[in-house]
Protein backbone atom coordinates (compact mmCIF):
# COMPACT_ATOMS: atom_id res chain seq x y z
CA UNK A 1 0.00 0.00 0.00
CA UNK A 2 1.43 3.34 -1.05
CA UNK A 3 0.46 6.33 1.10
CA UNK A 4 -1.44 9.20 -0.54
CA UNK A 5 1.37 11.72 0.12
CA UNK A 6 3.85 9.37 -1.45
CA UNK A 7 1.65 9.09 -4.54
CA UNK A 8 1.17 12.82 -5.01
CA UNK A 9 4.89 13.35 -4.40
CA UNK A 10 5.83 11.17 -7.36
CA UNK A 11 7.05 12.67 -10.60
CA UNK A 12 4.95 12.35 -13.73
CA UNK A 13 7.34 9.79 -15.20
CA UNK A 14 7.34 7.73 -12.00
CA UNK A 15 3.58 7.73 -11.46
CA UNK A 16 2.99 6.80 -15.12
CA UNK A 17 5.38 3.88 -14.74
CA UNK A 18 3.78 2.83 -11.44
CA UNK A 19 0.31 2.77 -13.03
CA UNK A 20 1.53 0.98 -16.15
CA UNK A 21 3.23 -1.72 -14.12
CA UNK A 22 0.10 -1.96 -11.92
CA UNK A 23 1.97 -1.22 -8.70
CA UNK A 24 -0.76 1.32 -8.15
CA UNK A 25 -4.09 1.93 -9.83
CA UNK A 26 -5.15 5.04 -11.69
CA UNK A 27 -8.11 5.27 -9.30
CA UNK A 28 -5.79 5.39 -6.29
CA UNK A 29 -3.75 8.12 -7.93
CA UNK A 30 -6.80 10.19 -8.83
CA UNK A 31 -8.27 9.81 -5.34
CA UNK A 32 -4.97 10.93 -3.78
CA UNK A 33 -4.93 14.04 -5.98
CA UNK A 34 -8.58 14.84 -5.31
CA UNK A 35 -8.08 14.47 -1.56
CA UNK A 36 -5.09 16.80 -1.62
CA UNK A 37 -6.97 19.39 -3.68
CA UNK A 38 -9.91 19.14 -1.29
CA UNK A 39 -7.63 19.62 1.71
CA UNK A 40 -5.48 22.50 0.48
CA UNK A 41 -6.75 24.29 -2.63
CA UNK A 42 -9.01 26.61 -0.65
CA UNK A 43 -5.77 28.42 0.33
CA UNK A 44 -4.28 28.43 -3.16
CA UNK A 45 -7.26 28.76 -5.52
CA UNK A 46 -5.45 26.98 -8.34
CA UNK A 47 -8.57 25.33 -9.80
CA UNK A 48 -11.52 26.95 -11.52
CA UNK A 49 -13.29 23.62 -11.77
CA UNK A 50 -12.49 20.10 -10.51
CA UNK A 51 -14.30 17.42 -12.52
CA UNK A 52 -14.38 14.91 -9.67
CA UNK A 53 -16.96 12.41 -10.91
CA UNK A 54 -15.79 12.46 -14.52
CA UNK A 55 -12.15 11.87 -13.65
CA UNK A 56 -12.98 9.06 -11.23
CA UNK A 57 -14.99 7.34 -13.96
CA UNK A 58 -12.13 7.85 -16.40
CA UNK A 59 -9.68 6.36 -13.90
CA UNK A 60 -11.86 3.27 -13.48
CA UNK A 61 -11.97 2.87 -17.24
CA UNK A 62 -8.18 3.22 -17.44
CA UNK A 63 -7.78 0.55 -14.75
CA UNK A 64 -10.18 -1.75 -16.62
CA UNK A 65 -8.13 -1.35 -19.79
CA UNK A 66 -4.91 -2.18 -17.97
CA UNK A 67 -6.51 -5.25 -16.43
CA UNK A 68 -7.22 -6.40 -20.00
CA UNK A 69 -3.66 -5.68 -21.04
CA UNK A 70 -4.48 -2.50 -22.97
CA UNK A 71 -1.99 0.33 -22.50
CA UNK A 72 -3.28 3.48 -24.16
CA UNK A 73 0.05 5.28 -24.17
CA UNK A 74 2.87 6.68 -22.04
CA UNK A 75 0.50 8.68 -19.83
CA UNK A 76 -2.01 5.88 -19.21
CA UNK A 77 -4.24 6.75 -16.27
CA UNK A 78 -2.28 9.82 -15.15
CA UNK A 79 -4.45 12.76 -14.03
CA UNK A 80 -3.47 16.15 -15.41
CA UNK A 81 -5.17 19.53 -15.22
CA UNK A 82 -4.79 22.46 -17.59
CA UNK A 83 -5.11 26.19 -17.87
CA UNK A 84 -8.80 26.71 -18.49
CA UNK A 85 -8.46 27.81 -22.12
CA UNK A 86 -7.92 24.42 -23.76
CA UNK A 87 -11.23 23.73 -25.47
CA UNK A 88 -13.16 20.49 -25.16
CA UNK A 89 -16.05 19.83 -27.48
CA UNK A 90 -19.36 20.13 -25.64
CA UNK A 91 -17.74 21.55 -22.49
CA UNK A 92 -17.15 25.03 -21.11
CA UNK A 93 -13.69 26.58 -21.00
CA UNK A 94 -14.03 29.79 -19.00
CA UNK A 95 -10.73 31.30 -20.17
CA UNK A 96 -10.71 32.86 -16.71
CA UNK A 97 -13.48 35.20 -17.80
CA UNK A 98 -17.03 36.12 -16.97
CA UNK A 99 -17.79 36.46 -20.67
CA UNK A 100 -17.03 32.80 -21.49
CA UNK A 101 -18.32 31.37 -18.23
CA UNK A 102 -21.14 29.52 -20.03
CA UNK A 103 -19.68 29.31 -23.54
CA UNK A 104 -19.74 25.69 -24.75
CA UNK A 105 -16.92 24.90 -27.18
CA UNK A 106 -17.48 23.02 -30.42
CA UNK A 107 -13.95 21.67 -30.89
CA UNK A 108 -11.36 19.88 -28.79
CA UNK A 109 -7.85 21.31 -28.74
CA UNK A 110 -5.17 19.29 -30.48
CA UNK A 111 -3.08 19.30 -27.31
CA UNK A 112 -5.83 17.75 -25.19
CA UNK A 113 -6.66 15.24 -27.92
CA UNK A 114 -3.02 14.11 -28.03
CA UNK A 115 -2.75 13.90 -24.25
CA UNK A 116 -5.93 11.85 -24.11
CA UNK A 117 -4.68 9.56 -26.87
CA UNK A 118 -1.57 9.01 -24.74
CA UNK A 119 -3.80 7.93 -21.86
CA UNK A 120 -3.86 11.07 -19.71
CA UNK A 121 -7.00 11.93 -17.71
CA UNK A 122 -8.53 15.41 -17.42
CA UNK A 123 -8.92 16.34 -13.78
CA UNK A 124 -10.02 19.94 -14.10
CA UNK A 125 -9.58 23.46 -15.44
CA UNK A 126 -6.93 25.60 -13.79
CA UNK A 127 -6.93 29.21 -12.69
CA UNK A 128 -5.61 31.75 -15.15
CA UNK A 129 -5.51 35.47 -15.65
CA UNK A 130 -8.67 36.59 -17.42
CA UNK A 131 -8.26 35.90 -21.14
CA UNK A 132 -4.56 35.15 -20.48
CA UNK A 133 -3.99 38.89 -20.25
CA UNK A 134 -2.06 39.31 -17.03
CA UNK A 135 1.37 38.43 -15.68
CA UNK A 136 0.50 38.16 -12.00
CA UNK A 137 -2.32 35.66 -11.35
CA UNK A 138 -4.90 38.26 -10.38
CA UNK A 139 -8.48 37.52 -11.45
CA UNK A 140 -11.49 39.66 -10.56
CA UNK A 141 -14.00 36.94 -11.46
CA UNK A 142 -12.53 33.80 -9.88
CA UNK A 143 -10.38 35.35 -7.15
CA UNK A 144 -6.61 35.65 -7.13
CA UNK A 145 -4.33 32.65 -7.28
CA UNK A 146 -1.95 32.41 -4.30
CA UNK A 147 1.65 31.33 -4.36
CA UNK A 148 1.92 28.02 -2.43
CA UNK A 149 5.29 29.08 -0.96
CA UNK A 150 3.70 32.14 0.64
CA UNK A 151 0.06 32.83 -0.04
CA UNK A 152 0.53 36.60 0.30
CA UNK A 153 2.55 36.53 -2.94
CA UNK A 154 1.59 36.22 -6.58
CA UNK A 155 2.03 33.07 -8.62
CA UNK A 156 2.89 34.89 -11.80
CA UNK A 157 0.64 34.53 -14.79
CA UNK A 158 -1.14 34.06 -16.88
CA UNK A 159 -0.81 30.28 -16.32
CA UNK A 160 -1.16 30.93 -12.61
CA UNK A 161 -3.07 27.78 -11.65
CA UNK A 162 -0.74 25.57 -13.68
CA UNK A 163 2.31 26.65 -11.70
CA UNK A 164 0.51 26.59 -8.36
CA UNK A 165 -1.21 23.20 -8.84
CA UNK A 166 1.96 21.42 -9.97
CA UNK A 167 4.16 22.66 -7.13
CA UNK A 168 1.34 21.94 -4.65
CA UNK A 169 1.37 18.29 -5.76
CA UNK A 170 -2.27 18.51 -6.85
CA UNK A 171 -1.38 17.12 -10.29
CA UNK A 172 1.74 15.74 -11.95
CA UNK A 173 1.78 18.15 -14.86
CA UNK A 174 -0.29 20.91 -16.38
CA UNK A 175 -0.50 22.71 -19.66
CA UNK A 176 -0.15 26.45 -19.72
CA UNK A 177 0.23 28.87 -22.57
CA UNK A 178 3.02 31.37 -23.13
CA UNK A 179 2.58 34.52 -25.19
CA UNK A 180 4.95 36.92 -23.46
CA UNK A 181 6.06 34.80 -20.50
CA UNK A 182 2.88 33.16 -19.24
CA UNK A 183 4.46 29.74 -18.72
CA UNK A 184 7.95 30.88 -17.73
CA UNK A 185 6.83 33.45 -15.13
CA UNK A 186 4.55 31.18 -13.07
CA UNK A 187 7.05 28.34 -13.43
CA UNK A 188 9.77 30.57 -12.00
CA UNK A 189 7.58 32.14 -9.29
CA UNK A 190 6.20 28.77 -8.15
CA UNK A 191 9.42 26.74 -8.47
CA UNK A 192 8.56 24.32 -11.28
CA UNK A 193 9.82 23.63 -14.78
CA UNK A 194 8.01 25.40 -17.61
CA UNK A 195 8.56 25.28 -21.35
CA UNK A 196 7.78 27.90 -23.93
CA UNK A 197 8.31 25.85 -27.10
CA UNK A 198 9.49 27.21 -30.43
CA UNK A 199 6.66 29.01 -32.22
CA UNK A 200 5.09 26.24 -34.30
CA UNK A 201 6.44 23.27 -32.33
CA UNK A 202 3.09 22.56 -30.56
CA UNK A 203 -0.30 23.12 -32.13
CA UNK A 204 -2.37 26.09 -30.96
CA UNK A 205 -5.58 24.67 -32.42
CA UNK A 206 -8.54 24.76 -30.05
CA UNK A 207 -7.23 27.26 -27.54
CA UNK A 208 -8.12 30.85 -26.79
CA UNK A 209 -5.90 33.18 -28.82
CA UNK A 210 -4.09 35.97 -27.00
CA UNK A 211 -1.71 37.05 -29.76
CA UNK A 212 -1.53 34.66 -32.71
CA UNK A 213 1.95 35.70 -33.67
CA UNK A 214 3.37 34.78 -30.26
CA UNK A 215 1.04 32.21 -28.68
CA UNK A 216 2.64 28.92 -27.70
CA UNK A 217 1.43 25.94 -25.68
CA UNK A 218 3.75 24.70 -22.96
CA UNK A 219 3.80 22.16 -20.12
CA UNK A 220 4.64 22.90 -16.48
CA UNK A 221 6.01 20.01 -14.45
CA UNK A 222 8.23 19.28 -11.45
CA UNK A 223 11.10 17.74 -13.40
CA UNK A 224 12.68 18.29 -16.78
CA UNK A 225 12.12 14.62 -17.68
CA UNK A 226 8.39 15.11 -17.03
CA UNK A 227 8.35 18.22 -19.20
CA UNK A 228 10.13 16.37 -22.02
CA UNK A 229 7.64 13.51 -21.79
CA UNK A 230 4.65 15.84 -22.10
CA UNK A 231 6.32 17.78 -24.91
CA UNK A 232 7.12 14.66 -26.93
CA UNK A 233 3.47 13.60 -26.52
CA UNK A 234 1.98 16.80 -27.93
CA UNK A 235 4.58 18.27 -30.30
CA UNK A 236 4.58 18.01 -34.06
CA UNK A 237 2.76 18.81 -37.25
CA UNK A 238 -0.95 19.57 -37.10
CA UNK A 239 -3.06 20.27 -40.19
CA UNK A 240 -5.39 22.30 -37.98
CA UNK A 241 -2.57 24.74 -37.20
CA UNK A 242 -0.69 25.66 -40.39
CA UNK A 243 2.07 27.31 -38.34
CA UNK A 244 3.07 23.80 -37.13
CA UNK A 245 5.44 22.47 -39.80
CA UNK A 246 6.39 18.87 -40.55
CA UNK A 247 9.61 18.85 -38.55
CA UNK A 248 10.28 15.56 -36.74
CA UNK A 249 10.08 15.63 -32.95
CA UNK A 250 13.48 14.54 -31.60
CA UNK A 251 14.00 11.80 -29.05
CA UNK A 252 14.30 14.09 -26.02
CA UNK A 253 15.18 11.25 -23.64
CA UNK A 254 18.13 10.29 -25.82
CA UNK A 255 19.27 13.92 -25.92
CA UNK A 256 19.17 14.08 -22.12
CA UNK A 257 20.97 10.76 -21.79
CA UNK A 258 23.75 12.04 -24.07
CA UNK A 259 24.73 14.66 -21.47
CA UNK A 260 26.08 18.14 -22.10
CA UNK A 261 29.82 17.70 -22.36
CA UNK A 262 31.20 20.39 -24.64
CA UNK A 263 27.91 22.23 -25.03
CA UNK A 264 28.49 25.99 -25.03
CA UNK A 265 26.34 27.96 -22.59
CA UNK A 266 26.14 31.70 -23.11
CA UNK A 267 25.88 34.23 -20.30
CA UNK A 268 24.62 37.55 -21.65
CA UNK A 269 26.77 40.61 -20.99
CA UNK A 270 23.97 43.04 -21.80
CA UNK A 271 20.23 43.57 -21.28
CA UNK A 272 19.33 40.54 -19.16
CA UNK A 273 21.23 41.58 -16.03
CA UNK A 274 20.54 45.32 -16.26
CA UNK A 275 18.00 45.29 -13.42
CA UNK A 276 18.59 42.04 -11.53
CA UNK A 277 18.75 41.99 -7.74
CA UNK A 278 21.88 40.72 -6.04
CA UNK A 279 20.44 37.53 -4.55
CA UNK A 280 19.03 36.45 -7.90
CA UNK A 281 22.27 37.25 -9.69
CA UNK A 282 24.24 35.19 -7.16
CA UNK A 283 21.82 32.27 -7.42
CA UNK A 284 22.10 32.24 -11.20
CA UNK A 285 25.90 32.32 -10.96
CA UNK A 286 25.74 29.25 -8.72
CA UNK A 287 23.55 27.47 -11.25
CA UNK A 288 26.13 28.14 -13.96
CA UNK A 289 28.85 26.54 -11.82
CA UNK A 290 26.71 23.42 -11.53
CA UNK A 291 26.13 23.31 -15.28
CA UNK A 292 29.85 23.80 -15.89
CA UNK A 293 30.65 20.87 -13.57
CA UNK A 294 28.39 18.72 -15.76
CA UNK A 295 30.74 19.31 -18.67
CA UNK A 296 29.36 22.37 -20.43
CA UNK A 297 31.51 25.37 -21.35
CA UNK A 298 30.36 28.71 -19.96
CA UNK A 299 31.03 31.70 -22.20
CA UNK A 300 30.04 35.34 -22.20
CA UNK A 301 28.03 36.50 -25.18
CA UNK A 302 26.63 39.84 -26.27
CA UNK A 303 23.14 39.87 -27.73
CA UNK A 304 21.66 42.62 -29.87
CA UNK A 305 19.88 45.31 -27.85
CA UNK A 306 16.53 43.74 -26.94
CA UNK A 307 14.69 46.88 -25.83
CA UNK A 308 13.09 47.30 -29.29
CA UNK A 309 12.13 43.61 -29.39
CA UNK A 310 10.28 44.03 -26.12
CA UNK A 311 8.31 47.02 -27.41
CA UNK A 312 7.62 45.50 -30.81
CA UNK A 313 6.30 42.33 -29.19
CA UNK A 314 3.97 44.31 -26.97
CA UNK A 315 2.72 46.35 -29.91
CA UNK A 316 1.83 43.23 -31.88
CA UNK A 317 0.34 41.57 -28.83
CA UNK A 318 -1.97 44.47 -28.00
CA UNK A 319 -3.18 44.85 -31.60
CA UNK A 320 -3.92 41.14 -32.01
CA UNK A 321 -5.53 40.77 -28.60
CA UNK A 322 -7.87 43.69 -29.12
CA UNK A 323 -8.87 42.25 -32.49
CA UNK A 324 -10.08 39.14 -30.64
CA UNK A 325 -11.91 41.18 -28.02
CA UNK A 326 -13.23 44.29 -29.78
CA UNK A 327 -16.77 43.04 -30.25
CA UNK A 328 -17.07 41.99 -26.62
CA UNK A 329 -15.50 45.27 -25.53
CA UNK A 330 -18.31 47.08 -27.38
CA UNK A 331 -21.11 44.92 -26.04
CA UNK A 332 -19.96 43.86 -22.58
CA UNK A 333 -17.24 46.21 -21.35
CA UNK A 334 -18.57 45.89 -17.79
CA UNK A 335 -17.78 42.16 -17.84
CA UNK A 336 -14.02 42.70 -18.17
CA UNK A 337 -11.82 43.12 -15.13
CA UNK A 338 -10.35 46.63 -15.13
CA UNK A 339 -6.78 45.32 -15.07
CA UNK A 340 -7.43 43.25 -18.19
CA UNK A 341 -9.41 45.84 -20.13
CA UNK A 342 -6.73 48.45 -19.49
CA UNK A 343 -4.03 46.02 -20.55
CA UNK A 344 -5.41 45.57 -24.04
CA UNK A 345 -7.37 48.68 -25.09
CA UNK A 346 -4.31 50.56 -26.35
CA UNK A 347 -4.40 48.14 -29.26
CA UNK A 348 -7.48 49.95 -30.57
CA UNK A 349 -5.43 53.08 -31.18
CA UNK A 350 -2.09 51.84 -32.51
CA UNK A 351 -1.96 52.45 -36.28
CA UNK A 352 -2.01 49.38 -38.52
CA UNK A 353 1.22 50.63 -40.05
CA UNK A 354 3.03 50.30 -36.71
CA UNK A 355 1.60 46.82 -36.20
CA UNK A 356 2.82 45.68 -39.61
CA UNK A 357 6.20 47.33 -39.18
CA UNK A 358 6.62 45.45 -35.90
CA UNK A 359 5.73 42.19 -37.61
CA UNK A 360 7.90 42.81 -40.64
CA UNK A 361 11.02 43.45 -38.53
CA UNK A 362 10.77 40.06 -36.84
CA UNK A 363 12.68 38.04 -39.41
CA UNK A 364 15.50 40.57 -39.59
CA UNK A 365 15.82 40.76 -35.80
CA UNK A 366 15.72 36.97 -35.44
CA UNK A 367 18.51 36.59 -38.00
CA UNK A 368 20.59 39.23 -36.16
CA UNK A 369 20.03 37.46 -32.83
CA UNK A 370 20.96 34.09 -34.32
CA UNK A 371 24.18 35.55 -35.74
CA UNK A 372 25.15 37.33 -32.52
CA UNK A 373 24.22 34.60 -30.03
CA UNK A 374 23.83 31.19 -31.61
CA UNK A 375 26.90 31.45 -33.84
CA UNK A 376 28.80 31.68 -30.55
CA UNK A 377 26.93 29.41 -28.12
CA UNK A 378 24.41 26.56 -28.11
CA UNK A 379 22.16 27.72 -25.28
CA UNK A 380 21.67 31.11 -23.62
CA UNK A 381 21.28 31.18 -19.81
CA UNK A 382 19.42 34.18 -18.30
CA UNK A 383 17.20 35.20 -15.38
CA UNK A 384 13.41 34.88 -15.78
CA UNK A 385 12.16 37.45 -13.25
CA UNK A 386 14.82 40.00 -12.23
CA UNK A 387 13.59 40.66 -8.70
CA UNK A 388 11.90 38.77 -5.86
CA UNK A 389 8.33 37.68 -6.54
CA UNK A 390 6.08 40.54 -5.32
CA UNK A 391 3.08 40.27 -3.04
CA UNK A 392 -0.46 40.21 -4.38
CA UNK A 393 -1.02 43.65 -2.90
CA UNK A 394 2.12 45.10 -4.50
CA UNK A 395 1.07 43.70 -7.88
CA UNK A 396 -2.55 44.86 -7.66
CA UNK A 397 -3.84 47.63 -9.89
CA UNK A 398 -2.68 50.94 -8.39
CA UNK A 399 -3.05 53.06 -11.51
CA UNK A 400 -1.71 52.77 -15.00
CA UNK A 401 1.92 53.67 -14.41
CA UNK A 402 2.45 51.36 -11.42
CA UNK A 403 0.64 48.59 -13.28
CA UNK A 404 2.95 48.94 -16.27
CA UNK A 405 5.97 48.74 -13.97
CA UNK A 406 4.78 45.43 -12.50
CA UNK A 407 4.05 44.13 -15.98
CA UNK A 408 7.55 45.15 -17.07
CA UNK A 409 9.09 43.46 -14.02
CA UNK A 410 7.43 40.19 -14.91
CA UNK A 411 7.97 40.20 -18.67
CA UNK A 412 10.99 42.28 -19.69
CA UNK A 413 13.22 39.20 -19.79
CA UNK A 414 10.68 36.89 -21.42
CA UNK A 415 8.91 39.03 -24.03
CA UNK A 416 11.90 39.57 -26.33
CA UNK A 417 12.32 35.79 -26.61
CA UNK A 418 8.64 35.50 -27.52
CA UNK A 419 9.12 38.10 -30.26
CA UNK A 420 11.97 36.01 -31.65
CA UNK A 421 9.87 32.81 -31.51
CA UNK A 422 12.64 30.88 -29.79
CA UNK A 423 12.20 28.03 -27.30
CA UNK A 424 12.83 28.83 -23.64
CA UNK A 425 12.75 26.73 -20.50
CA UNK A 426 12.31 28.05 -16.96
CA UNK A 427 14.09 25.91 -14.35
CA UNK A 428 13.93 26.33 -10.54
CA UNK A 429 17.34 27.02 -8.99
CA UNK A 430 16.85 28.35 -5.47
CA UNK A 431 15.03 30.87 -3.31
CA UNK A 432 15.34 34.62 -2.92
CA UNK A 433 15.65 36.50 0.35
CA UNK A 434 11.87 36.64 0.73
CA UNK A 435 11.61 32.85 0.48
CA UNK A 436 10.05 32.75 -2.97
CA UNK A 437 11.51 30.61 -5.78
CA UNK A 438 14.03 31.77 -8.36
CA UNK A 439 14.32 30.32 -11.84
CA UNK A 440 16.77 30.55 -14.69
CA UNK A 441 15.77 30.71 -18.33
CA UNK A 442 17.47 28.64 -21.02
CA UNK A 443 16.97 29.87 -24.57
CA UNK A 444 17.76 27.74 -27.60
CA UNK A 445 17.84 27.72 -31.37
CA UNK A 446 14.55 27.31 -33.24
CA UNK A 447 13.26 23.76 -32.62
CA UNK A 448 16.20 23.21 -30.26
CA UNK A 449 14.18 22.10 -27.24
CA UNK A 450 16.35 18.98 -26.93
CA UNK A 451 19.39 21.05 -25.95
CA UNK A 452 17.36 22.92 -23.32
CA UNK A 453 16.12 19.66 -21.82
CA UNK A 454 19.65 18.24 -21.83
CA UNK A 455 21.14 21.21 -19.96
CA UNK A 456 18.27 21.44 -17.48
CA UNK A 457 18.23 17.70 -16.85
CA UNK A 458 21.96 17.70 -16.18
CA UNK A 459 21.36 20.54 -13.71
CA UNK A 460 18.55 18.69 -11.94
CA UNK A 461 20.66 15.54 -11.75
CA UNK A 462 23.16 17.50 -9.67
CA UNK A 463 20.74 19.54 -7.54
CA UNK A 464 17.53 19.04 -5.61
CA UNK A 465 15.67 22.36 -5.95
CA UNK A 466 13.03 20.60 -8.04
CA UNK A 467 12.21 18.27 -5.15
CA UNK A 468 11.41 21.14 -2.76
CA UNK A 469 7.76 21.22 -1.79
CA UNK A 470 5.82 24.03 -0.07
CA UNK A 471 4.36 23.32 3.35
CA UNK A 472 0.66 23.83 2.64
Partner 1 sequence: MAPKVSVELIERQASELQDIPVSRERGAELALEVDNFNRDVFEAARDRDFNDEPTGFLKVLLSRRHHERTT
Q: By C-beta, is 69 or 262 nearer to partner 1?
A: 262
Angle between helices 449-462 and 224-234 (to 10 degrees): 160
H or E stretch including 229? helix 224-234
Which burial class, exposed, middle or buried, applies to 54 when counting CB atoms under 10 A from its CB (0-12, 13-18, 19+)?
A: middle
Please state, in angstroms and rounded to a whole number, the distance separating the CA atoms of residues 24 and 14: 11
Catalytic member of 25, 93, 129, 158 = 158
Please state, in angstroms and rounded to a whole number, the distance separating the CA atoms of residues 371 and 307: 18
Identify the bridge partners of residue 125 per DSSP, sorted by sequence position.
49, 82
Catalytic member of 25, 46, 83, 388 = 83
Please state, in angstroms and rounded to a whole number, the distance separating the CA atoms of residues 227 and 187: 12
Least separation in angstroms between residue 353's CB and partner 1 is 8
Catalytic member of 25, 160, 168, 182 = 182
Least separation in angstroms between residue 132's CB and partner 1 is 20
Residues lying near partner 1 in the complex (CB under 8 A) are found at 198-200, 243, 245, 247, 250, 255, 258, 262, 308, 311-312, 314-315, 318, 326, 329-330, 333, 342, 345-346, 348-351, 354, 356-364, 366-367, 370, 374, 400, 404, 421, 444-448, 450-451
Q: By C-beta, is 298 or 366 nearer to partner 1?
A: 366
Least separation in angstroms between residue 325's CB and partner 1 is 10
Task: Tell me, rounded to whole angstroms, the distance of Cα 114 from its chain centroid.
Answer: 18
Strands (E) located in 384-436: 424-431
Q: Is 338 a catalytic residue?
A: no
Q: Is 182 a catalytic residue?
A: yes
Own/partner long-range contacts of 366-371 (Cβ < 8 Å, ≥24 apart): 366/420, 366/421, 366/422, 368/304, 369/303, 369/304, 369/420, 369/422, 370/445
Please state, in angstroms and rounded to a whole number, the distance separating the CA atoms of residues 353 and 454: 41
Q: By C-beta, is 281 or 323 nearer to partner 1?
A: 323
Q: By C-beta, is 149 or 355 nearer to partner 1?
A: 355
Least separation in angstroms between residue 370's CB and partner 1 is 5
Least separation in angstroms between residue 194's CB and partner 1 is 20
Q: By C-beta, is 118 or 313 nearer to partner 1?
A: 313
Catalytic residues: 83, 158, 182
Amino acid sequence: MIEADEITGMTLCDVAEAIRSRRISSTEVVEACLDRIEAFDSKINSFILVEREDVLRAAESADDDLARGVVRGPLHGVPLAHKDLYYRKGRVSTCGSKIMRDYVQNVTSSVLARLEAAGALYLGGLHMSEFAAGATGHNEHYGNCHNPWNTAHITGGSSSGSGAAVVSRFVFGAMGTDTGGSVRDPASACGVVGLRPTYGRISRFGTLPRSWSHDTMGPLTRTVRDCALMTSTIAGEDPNDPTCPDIPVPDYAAAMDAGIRGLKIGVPTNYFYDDVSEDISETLAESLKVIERQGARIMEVRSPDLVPHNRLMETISKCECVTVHAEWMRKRPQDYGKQVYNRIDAGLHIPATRYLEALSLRGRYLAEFMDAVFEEVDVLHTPVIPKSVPTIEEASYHGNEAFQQISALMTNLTRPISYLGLPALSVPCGFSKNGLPIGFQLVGRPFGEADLFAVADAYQNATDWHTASPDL
